[in-house]
């Protein structure tokens, strides 16, 4: 009931629908939300989004009960492919990276919006994915992150269809792989660096629950570092360089790094390992290191310090023992998410704020690490929006999604998608 009252309030009092404003080319930016609300086909799409929400929630559950661990998104991808086909998208296919891609042509090829949600979850193979529902609350691993995003994306396609919305530009919908963890944004990297290189004018990802808009992409570099040597008996072979000692030297240096508070830049040695026994000089010692920043220059700077620390520790340990049992180091980059941001005053952020406001929703600008990092780092306009509702426990087995008024999230996604097809 609350929802219906809300709906009426923002649709009444706007006077006669004037679709001519759109035909005349409403500019993106500050007023696009209110302008679009006056378009009859957009109104119809929004109404459809609201009416259809129970089915969107059913889809959210259905998709969520198909496992999609990192690098094993195939089965869920097939389900999305069928959904894209059923909803009438054109050129539906699964690309080389495993992304499901489908096109909704507009009057022109550009502006070309890519509207995405990620398929993968953080949960390993074998995790029970059955969901439970109690009233408005649905529980299950991945139900918000990112089954909500996938369901909202299907809801947007359906709503545009119901409203017979003819967008000026074209929308490519993508259910992409590899957003989480070691997936390392490979799905979106493939879109921007290969399959759709140079063709994308703007990018929206729907990720998780709530109503925020992420415009700052926190970048991260992750490494696995291994010091290696011949190893030997702790007494008999004493005098050999020691990989664990080298690792200790490196960690001591990293622990003393000075980093800026603003932009927030961080470092962490997250895991260490190695050695064979208390009375052996190890033949290997390793660590996993994570560094992050919302600013690419700061990330590069802490990254450079890290490399120096690793090399210095190696040189010091080798020198300490006069080159006996000389060590080597292997430094593997296991995660590379570039930092980036879409300026607050940019048309895409203004459009996101405008449509959020037009629907009477709270406006909040966030920082995060999402698929939008890739376009942001390439200076292509991008935001990640939440999919509505209220979520908790993301990345845990107890994840839940409260669908109270979640249709507002679907409506916001519809409005933003339409807005970004306008010049």
Tell which residue, 51, 142, 53, has the closest CA to residue 391. 142
CB closer to Zn ion, 73 vs 145: 145
CB closer to Zn ion, 44 vs 365: 365
Tell me how far, at minimum, the Cβ of 335 lies from Zn ion, in Å. Answer: 15
CB closer to Zn ion, 207 vs 303: 207
Determine the Cα–Cα distance for residues 372 and 273; give it in Å rounded to an integer. 34
Tell me how far, at minimum, the Cβ of 145 lies from Zn ion, in Å. Answer: 4
CB closer to Zn ion, 39 vs 371: 371
Tell me how far, at minimum, the Cβ of 362 lies from Zn ion, in Å. Answer: 21
Tell me how far, at minimum, the Cβ of 207 lies from Zn ion, in Å. Answer: 4
Tell me how far, at minimum, the Cβ of 384 lies from Zn ion, in Å. Answer: 9
Do 186 and 252 form a contact (C-beta atoms < 8 A)? no
Binding mask 133-152 for Zn ion (x = CB under 5 A): ------------xx------
CB closer to Zn ion, 207 vs 284: 207
Q: Count residues binding Zn ion (CB under 5 A).
A: 3
Binding mask 197-236 for Zn ion (x = CB under 5 A): ----------x-----------------------------
Tell which residue, 289, 308, 313, has the closest CA to residue 227. 313
CB closer to Zn ion, 119 vs 361: 119
Contacts of 382 (CB under 8 A, 6+ apart): 202, 203, 204, 205, 217, 342, 348, 372, 374, 375, 376
CB closer to Zn ion, 53 vs 146: 146
Whether residue 18 is preceded by a cis peptide bond, meaning omega within 30 degrees of 0, is no
User: CA dihedral in degrees (296, 302, 303, 309; nearest 10)?
Assistant: 170
Tell which residue, 230, 218, 187, 182, has the closest CA to residue 97. 187
Whole-angstrom CA distances from 193 to 38, 97, 196, 297 are: 38, 12, 7, 21
Coil, strand, or helix at residue 297?
helix
CB closer to Zn ion, 201 vs 371: 371
Tell me how far, at minimum, the Cβ of 350 lies from Zn ion, in Å. Answer: 24
Tell me how far, at minimum, the Cβ of 111 lies from Zn ion, in Å. Answer: 25
Determine the Cα–Cα distance for residues 182 and 170; give it in Å rounded to an integer. 31
**Contact status: 39 vs Zn ion (CB under 5 A):** no
User: Residue with structure tokens 């190696």?
Assistant: 314
For β-strands 219-228 and 284-293, DSSP reports them as antiparallel
A 10 A CB-CB count for 229 gives 24
User: Residue with structure tokens 């609201």?
Assistant: 50
Binding mask 97-136 for Zn ion (x = CB under 5 A): ----------------------------------------
Tell me how far, at minimum, the Cβ of 110 lies from Zn ion, in Å. Answer: 28
Tell me how far, at minimum, the Cβ of 52 lies from Zn ion, in Å. Answer: 23
CB closer to Zn ion, 146 vs 399: 146
Do 376 and 22 form a contact (C-beta atoms < 8 A)? no
Give the tokens for residue 15.
């006077």
Kindly list the residues in this chain that would bind Zn ion in the complex (CB under 5 A): 145-146, 207
């Amino acid at each position: 009931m609350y929802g219906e009252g809300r709906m009426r309030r923002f649709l009444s009092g706007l006077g006669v629908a004037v679709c001519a404003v759109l035909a005349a080319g409403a500019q993106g930016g500050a007023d696009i939300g209110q302008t679009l609300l006056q378009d009859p086909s957009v109104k119809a799409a929004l109404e459809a989004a609201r009416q259809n929400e129970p089915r969107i929630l059913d889809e959210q559950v259905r998709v969520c009960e198909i496992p999609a661990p990192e690098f094993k998104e195939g089965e869920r991808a097939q389900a999305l492919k069928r959904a894209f086909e059923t909803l009438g998208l054109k050129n539906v296919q699964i690309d080389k990276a495993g992304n499901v891609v489908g096109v909704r042509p507009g009057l022109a090829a550009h502006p070309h919006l890519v509207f995405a949600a990620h398929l993968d979850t953080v949960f390993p193979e074998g995790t029970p994915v059955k969901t439970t529902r109690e009233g408005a609350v649905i529980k299950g691993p991945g139900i918000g992150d990112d089954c909500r995003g996938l369901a909202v994306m299907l809801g947007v396609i359906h709503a545009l269809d119901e409203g017979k919305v003819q967008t000026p530009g074209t929308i490519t919908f993508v259910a992409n792989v590899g957003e989480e963890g070691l997936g390392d944004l490979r799905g979106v990297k493939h879109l921007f660096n290969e399959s759709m290189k140079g063709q994308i004018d703007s990018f929206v990802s729907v990720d998780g629950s709530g109503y925020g808009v992420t415009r700052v992409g926190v970048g991260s570099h992750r490494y696995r570092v291994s010091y290696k040597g011949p190893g030997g008996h702790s007494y008999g072979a004493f005098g050999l360089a020691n990989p664990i000692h080298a690792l200790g030297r490196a960690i001591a240096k990293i622990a003393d790094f000075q980093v800026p508070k603003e932009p927030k830049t961080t470092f962490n040695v997250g895991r260490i390992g190695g050695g064979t026994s208390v009375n052996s000089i190890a033949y290997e010692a390793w660590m996993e290191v994570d560094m992050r920043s919302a600013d690419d220059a700061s990330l590069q700077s802490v990254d450079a310090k890290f490399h120096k620390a690793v090399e210095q520790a190696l040189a010091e340990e080798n020198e300490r023992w006069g080159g006996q049992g000389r060590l080597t180091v292997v430094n593997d980059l296991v995660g590379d998410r570039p930092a980036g941001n879409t300026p607050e005053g940019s048309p895409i952020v203004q459009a996101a704020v405008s449509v959020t406001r037009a629907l009477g929703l709270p406006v909040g600008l966030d920082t995060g690490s999402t698929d939008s990092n890739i376009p942001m780092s390439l200076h292509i306009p991008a935001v990640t929006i939440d999919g509505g509702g209220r979520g908790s426990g993301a990345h845990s087995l107890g994840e839940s999604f409260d669908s109270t008024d979640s249709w507002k999230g679907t409506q916001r996604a519809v409005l933003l998608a339409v807005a970004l097809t306008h010049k």
